[in-house]
Structure 1
């Protein structure tokens, strides 16, 4: 650990903000909410070996299959998949830009890799797929990552492998039935080598969670489905360190990170809540106004797009 975790979190926000301004839109609120948790995972918590992937991501090689020997996954950015190392599954594929920024800030991907973002033929997808940096599975429309990760975890547990399986979810995935089916089955099979981190930023593509499909007390519900669950402030690094160090003997561990989708950019983005899922600009003046306001909060000189 050579950089402070907070410095990495601040770098994630700055990098996603600058990309959003340059490209006239982006998943900016996810960087606001997830920066600390991703920074903490990559910088302190995850036991990962050095990246085995190229610093500048390779082009898309085509879909996996028996006749495509050139296909690959983005798991190499998390290092070798050896028994002693952790595995990290990212389920909300729309967090891809934030994940790429985290990989760059953690020294696992070159900054130039973002120049390939969302280009035809690139593996640096806007919506992460199995070949995208940091991803090793395609998680469907939403909420399929936990199920795939739990299968890997069960196999690793049965083999006695010491490495842990970590899964990153968005709170919108708690609206999906497959998520709850997976938690119930993990509890039934006593899968205990899984740690789930959930970014609870209270919003999704259709608006505020409370108006779309909020189902009450997430912690109580997760405990009822057999998980060891707690909730913490997702911007409080000390509280997060304590929560993420928890282990259980017979069940998965879940940490809900209560976060703000405009953390660090309050002046400009708070007034947009809950319409923050993807930040678009209606005019050049609105874009300049956001650039000036956020740059002042983040300490970025020359913010003009």
Structure 2
């Protein structure tokens, strides 16, 4: 399914929704919307070949874990359409990007806006940290680094079956601090898993601050190449660059797109919080009001009335 919005319009819509939610809830994952907006917009609006959603537009409450007593259990991947050979599959490895992912689903018409009102509420499937039952999620990725391994395994199985659909993994750069990421790339290269694609949000930020203050990772493009992937580095806010990058030849190898981004892109006032950008909770009513006015102006909307 496709909508009439451009990917640039979808990216702006994502940021506006995350901004409104964060203002009404005294905080949110604002920097992830800044850095990831164009990438998720491009994936869902243009690049991914997905069928129509198979789940209700308004998400159901959490219905329990898989078991013999729960035969109707389903993952949240139904918002990405059915599992059929011709369609792509998407794993969102950094589950803390869930708020941004939900906003994306709404912007491309795969989930109703009411779904975001259920975010982080007791009994809701619209989890703060996305789980396998959350909209758009297929598995619980646990610790960062597992997502690429999961995607590689699925892609290998699909390749052995001769399925034409691709497997995509959306990643964050903090995952390169995990050894499992490199094991996955090495295995994918060895087994010729060239139906595996990944795009990584390289915003140089993680939960505990700037990445280099936690663990320096060096030249990750060269590392990916040395482990056997084809790796392309782009401006992560340039959708044309994404369109070109995905065309890079990579026969017999996975394709990794490194999307260099700014964690306060389109919301420059967030730089005041650097390097503590992982989750922006307002420290005072004055800060909340200042950010409300500033970000609203940058996004071309009216300040949010969060008094009710």
1:188 aligns with 2:181: no
Correspondent of 2:39 among 33, 37, 40: 37
TM-aligned CA deviation for residue 297 of structure 1 = 0.7
Q: Which residue of 1 aligns with 2:209?
A: 207
Q: Distance in 1 between matches of 2:152 and 2:11?
A: 28
Q: Which moved more, 1:25-34 or 1:210-219?
A: 210-219
Q: Which residue of 1 aligns with 2:125?
A: 123
Q: Which residue of 2 aligns with 1:177?
A: 179
Q: Which moved more, 1:241-250 or 1:214-223?
A: 241-250
Runs of 4+ in 1 over 3 A off after TM superposition: none
Mapping for residues 40-59 of structure 1, pairs under 5 Å: 40-59=42-61
Q: Which moved more, 1:154-163 or 1:58-67?
A: 58-67
Correspondent of 2:236 among 214, 234, 237: 234
Mapping for residues 149-298 of structure 1, pairs under 5 Å: 149-266=151-268, 268-298=269-299
Secondary structure of the residue aligned to 2:232 is strand
Task: Please give the per-residue CA displacement for 1:115-166, whole angstroms capped at 9, x wherever unaligned.
Answer: 1110111100000000000000000022211111111100000011000000
Secondary structure of the residue aligned to 2:234 is strand
Q: Which residue of 2 aligns with 1:25?
A: 27
Q: Distance in 1 between matches of 2:185 and 2:33?
A: 27
Q: Distance in 1 between matches of 2:249 and 2:214?
A: 33
Q: Which residue of 2 aligns with 1:132?
A: 134
Q: Which residue of 1 aligns with 2:300?
A: 299
TM-aligned CA deviation for residue 249 of structure 1 = 1.3
The alignment yields a C-alpha RMSD, in angstroms, of 1.0
* Contact 1:292 1:304 survives alignment (8 Å): no
Q: Distance in 2 between matches of 1:66 and 1:94?
A: 30
Secondary structure of the residue aligned to 2:217 is coil
Q: Distance in 2 between matches of 1:188 and 1:302?
A: 52
Q: Distance in 2 between matches of 1:295 and 1:245?
A: 36
Task: Please give the per-residue CA displacement for 1:66-88, whole angstroms capped at 9, x wherever unaligned.
Answer: 33213210110111110000001
Q: Which moved more, 1:71-80 or 1:59-68?
A: 59-68
Q: Distance in 1 between matches of 2:215 and 2:246?
A: 27
Structure 2: runs of 5 or more not aligned? none
Q: Distance in 2 between matches of 1:274 and 1:195?
A: 30
Q: Distance in 1 between matches of 2:92 and 2:121?
A: 21
TM-aligned CA deviation for residue 184 of structure 1 = 1.0
Q: Distance in 1 between matches of 2:50 and 2:249?
A: 18
TM-aligned CA deviation for residue 211 of structure 1 = 1.5
Correspondent of 1:79 among 78, 81, 91: 81
* Contact 2:24 2:304 survives alignment (8 Å): no
* Contact 2:292 2:303 survives alignment (8 Å): no
